[in-house]
Structures are given as structure tokens and as C-alpha cells.
Amino acid sequence: MSEELLQQLIHMVAENNRLVKETQQELREFKKEMYDFRNEMYAFREEMYAFRDEMYAFREEMYEFRDDATRRLDRLERQNKHIDADLDLLHRKVSDHEREINRLKQVGQ
């Protein structure tokens, strides 16, 4: 009986060893997958940082474009005001000249 018990014990120990080795292998595979995933996440993070930097650069370009457009529009608005003032002056002068011409015509008749 003791030899049979010993055989059972040996068999149980062998089965436990097999299970432990399987578990160790599964754990190694899981750790490898986790490290691979971590590395992918690091690579993704680096891509996101690069994308963020590109977005910041694009935002700066947009700010520069907006500022340049604002400056140009302000300049055009000032020029338009000057043109309006010049047209008003020309209109007054034309009106003055027409009155003067009409006055001279009446005096000459």
C-alpha cells in the first residue's frame, strides 16, 4: 500500500509540476503580450506628441494668418475711409464748380 501511495504521490507531484510549467509558460506569454502592448502604447504616445506639436504649429500659423488678415483689412478700411473722404471732397468741389458755372452763365446773359 505504501508503494501505491508513493506512486500516487509521485504522479500528483509530476502533474503539479506540469501544471506549474504550463502556468509559468502562460505567464511568460502574458508578460510578453503586456510588454508588447506597453511598447505599442509608448509608440502611440510618441505619435500623439508629434501630432500635438503639429497641431500647435498649425495653430500658430492660423494665428499669424488671422493677424495678417486683420492688419490687411484694417489697412483697407483706412484706405476706404480716405477714398470716401476724397470722393466727398470731389463731390463738393464739383457742386461748387457747377454753381459757379451757373452763376457765370447768369451773369453773362
pLDDT, mean of each 10-residue run, the chain (109 residues): 89 96 98 98 98 98 98 98 97 95 87
Read off the pTM: 0.56
- Look up cell 497641431; give the residue: 55
User: What are the φ and ψ backbone dihedral angles of 47, each rounded to 5 degrees?
Assistant: -65, -40
Residue 109 confidence (pLDDT): 74
